[in-house]
Structure 1
Amino acid sequence: MSKKIPFGDFFVLFFFLVGALFAGISYYIYQGNQSLVKNGIATQGVVIGMHRIDRKKYPVAPSVRYFTRDGKEHVFHSSEGRNPPEYQIGQEVKLYYDPNKPEDVYLEGNYLLVYVFAGMAGVFWLISIWGVPAAVVAIWKWIWS
């Protein structure tokens, strides 16, 4: 006698785990930003331009010129674009950079990726969380019966 595979229960568990993965990514990005705030060097930068993340799409991200403590000029090209743009050319922004890797930059208050991944985690969890206990029981019974 063959056991019927609980595909629906595996699907519910899979959705829950994908949500956990997105939550973990969101937390990892947030912690990296906070590490730069805590251990990095704060400075002022100036938005010198706006660039598209993808040539064919409108969301634009800032390019920021800043100087490190040793007086070297750097340009940071953000990968977090928005529509409408959050920054204006000529606007001064506070940023943090890693003194050992000055190209590792965090723009103050720029949590877009944290919000995106946390939001996706929330959606996956809302879809699946209610069925996780029953799915775990069904899969457990399927495995051991």
Structure 2
Amino acid sequence: MFAVGVLCLVAGLIFAGVSVSFLTDAQRARGTVVALDWQEDHDGGSRMAHGDDAPAAYPVVEFTSVDGTPRKFRDSAGSNPPAYEVGEQVEVLYRPDSPEDARIKGFLSLWLLPLIFGGIGLVFTGIGTGFALAARRRRA
């Protein structure tokens, strides 16, 4: 259990590093939520929903990159109830060298995976450490 916890902690740190790197290099733009893409998400993707079969609303956002090109993307984080409304203005973050890799500047889009993996890692590492300490005390 301890090993699984450590692996999850490492994965959480890697995801956090990816988010920090993305934030460091990201260009900012104003965007507009133009649609909500409702999806049944049975693969356990990054969404928050009420119930296993509840669909999640993924915001579809339009923005104009610094080169003047109109862009459209679907955010990677969906939720139920929807976190955004059609017509809502949002701040978009994207890499200038790959503007198709865009995200809404929001907690879910940037920090959900690091928190999930880090939290699971802490719990499993704590349980594994507790078992190891209990076994050591029994031997002593």
With the shorter chain as reference, the TM-score category is 0.7 to 0.9
Equivalent residue number for residue 94 of structure 1: 91
**Alpha-carbon distance in structure 1 between the residues aligned to 2:37 and 2:127:** 36
- TM-score, structure 1 normalization: 0.72
Equivalent residue number for residue 60 of structure 1: 57
Q: Which amino acid aligns with 1:21?
A: L
Deviations 1:42-76 (CA, angstroms, capped at 9, x unpaired): 11111111113436642222111111111111112
**Alpha-carbon distance in structure 2 between the residues aligned to 1:115 and 1:84:** 20
Distance 1:70 1:112, change over 3 A: same
RMSD (Å) for aligned C-alpha atoms:
2.2
Higher helix share: 1
- TM-score, structure 2 normalization: 0.74
Deviations 1:110-129 (CA, angstroms, capped at 9, x unpaired): 32222222222233223222
Equivalent residue number for residue 118 of structure 1: 118
Equivalent residue number for residue 73 of structure 2: 76
Distance 1:25 1:53, change over 3 A: farther
Q: Note the residue ranges of structure 1 that are not aligned, 5 or more in a row.
A: 1-14, 138-145
Alignment size in residue pairs: 122
**Percent identical across equivalent pairs?**
29
Pairwise mapping of residues 30-45 of structure 1 onto structure 2 (< 5 A)? Answer: 30-45=16-31
Deviations 1:11-45 (CA, angstroms, capped at 9, x unpaired): xxxx2222222222222222222222211211111
**Alpha-carbon distance in structure 2 between the residues aligned to 1:120 and 1:40:** 28
Higher strand share: 2
Structure 1 segments of 4+ aligned residues over 4 angstroms from their partners? none
